[in-house]
């Protein structure tokens, strides 16, 4: 009797495993995306961006207690989705949930990102309802989208759709801010970026996250998310994160800063050894 196989990762198998005949076949047990569950439960969820090829950082982030890591292929001149495979595998092995930030809102890139084994995507440059719809549909199998690809059998599409997380960045330009109400009417958005830094630049107040006009946009988006049952996430200074926490935000991202960690450690050593 053939032994039942258990899937050790999430519903999105790395593309190089799709050559095996049992992938997507009968007897595979699909596991949940723990970040989606924690968000749904209203728990505090913490993540950070990371260079796709710094797998040692992914391991350290997992040990530090982060819930998720976003491998960033938008910023930096050398990284594409193809450079994320080892990072995704490392994240799964380290029990930290991996996502990929694609370089732009392109269905092919989104599909490729998910085929690495990532549990979802961060999609930038979303400036309208149509562009948001494109991003969401590219990450969902039919009938909720038009995703194709390998590694997930049709019988598992519904569950894969439920476990795949789609985060959009809909506030990066003035046009995007103007269209935000229409953009956030799209069904299937899991996370909405508050993009405070982008808002300050778009409105002409760079470096002023507490400027009244910037605060007005942020509060408007927070109200929209609350009224429509959407979840927002925030990145920023300690003061800004505390502000968002008081407003009900529970998903936060920070920057991994090894220089600061080393500096703090050296200061502590000098303090205790002086």
Tokens matching residue 77:
């001149």
Which domain range does residue 169 map to?
Answer: 15-273
Residue at 44 is within a domain: yes
| Separation between Cα atoms, residue 133 and residue 186, nearest integer Å | 6
Q: pLDDT for 209-236, tens place per residue?
A: 999 999 999 999 999 999 999 999 999 8
Distance CA 107, CA 104 (A): 9
Distance between CA atoms of residues 31 and 13, nearest Å: 12
Integer Cα distance of 46 and 205 in angstroms: 28
What are the average pLDDT values for consecutive 10-residue runs of the chain, which has 274 residues?
A: 43 41 43 91 94 91 94 84 92 95 95 92 96 97 88 86 95 96 96 93 94 95 95 89 93 80 83 85
Task: Using alpha carbons only, give the angle 112, 115, 119 rounded to the nearest 5 degrees.
Answer: 110
pLDDT tens for residues 29-44?
A: 457 899 999 999 999 9
Q: Which residues are within 8 A (CB) of 145 and not within 5 positions of it... i.e. 6 or more apart?
A: 136, 137, 138, 139, 161, 188
- pLDDT of 1 reads 45
Domain annotation covers residue 162: yes
Number of domains present in the structure of the chain: 1
According to the model, what pLDDT value does residue 9 have? 42
User: In this predicted structure, what is the pLDDT of residue 256?
Assistant: 67
pLDDT at 146: 94
At 30 the pLDDT is: 57
Determine the pLDDT at residue 238. 82
What is the model's pLDDT at position 221?
96
Task: Report yes or no on 10 lying in a domain.
Answer: no
Is 36 within a domain?
yes
Is residue 5 in some structural domain? no
Asked whether residue 8 is assigned to any structural domain, the reply reads: no
**So what's the pLDDT on residue 182?**
97
**Amino acid 14: pLDDT:** 47
pLDDT value, residue 68: 97
Domain containing 147 — which CATH number?
3.20.20.60
pLDDT for the residue 20: 32
Is residue 9 domain-resident? no
Q: Is residue 3 part of a domain?
A: no
| % of the chain with per-residue pLDDT over 70 | 86
């Amino acid at each position: 009797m053939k032994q039942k196989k258990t899937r050790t990762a999430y519903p999105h198998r790395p593309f190089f495993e799709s050559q095996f005949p049992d992938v997507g076949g009968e007897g595979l047990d699909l596991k949940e995306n723990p970040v989606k569950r924690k968000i749904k439960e209203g728990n505090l969820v913490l993540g950070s961006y990371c260079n796709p090829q710094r797998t040692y950082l992914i391991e350290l982030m997992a040990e530090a207690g982060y819930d998720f890591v976003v491998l960033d292929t938008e910023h930096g001149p050398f990284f594409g989705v193809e450079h994320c495979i080892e990072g995704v595998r490392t994240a799964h092995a380290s029990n930290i949930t991996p996502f990929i930030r694609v370089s732009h809102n392109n269905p092919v890139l989104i599909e490729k990102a998910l085929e690495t084994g990532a549990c979802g995507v961060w999609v930038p440059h979303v400036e309208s309802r149509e562009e948001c719809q494109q991003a969401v549909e590219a990450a969902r199998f039919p009938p909720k989208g038009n995703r194709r690809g390998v590694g997930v059998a049709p019988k598992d599409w519904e569950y894969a759709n439920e476990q795949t997380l789609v985060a959009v960045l809909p506030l990066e330009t003035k046009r995007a801010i103007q269209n935000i109400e229409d953009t956030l009417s799209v069904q299937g958005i899991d996370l909405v970026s508050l993009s405070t830094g982008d808002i300050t630049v778009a409105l002409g107040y760079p470096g002023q996250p507490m400027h009244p006009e910037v605060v007005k946009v942020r509060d408007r988006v927070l109200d929209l998310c609350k009224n429509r049952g959407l979840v927002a996430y925030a990145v920023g200074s300690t003061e800004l994160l505390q502000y968002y926490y008081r407003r009900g935000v529970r998903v936060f991202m920070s920057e991994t800063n090894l220089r600061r960690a080393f500096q703090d450690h050296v200061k502590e050593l000098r303090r205790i050894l002086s």
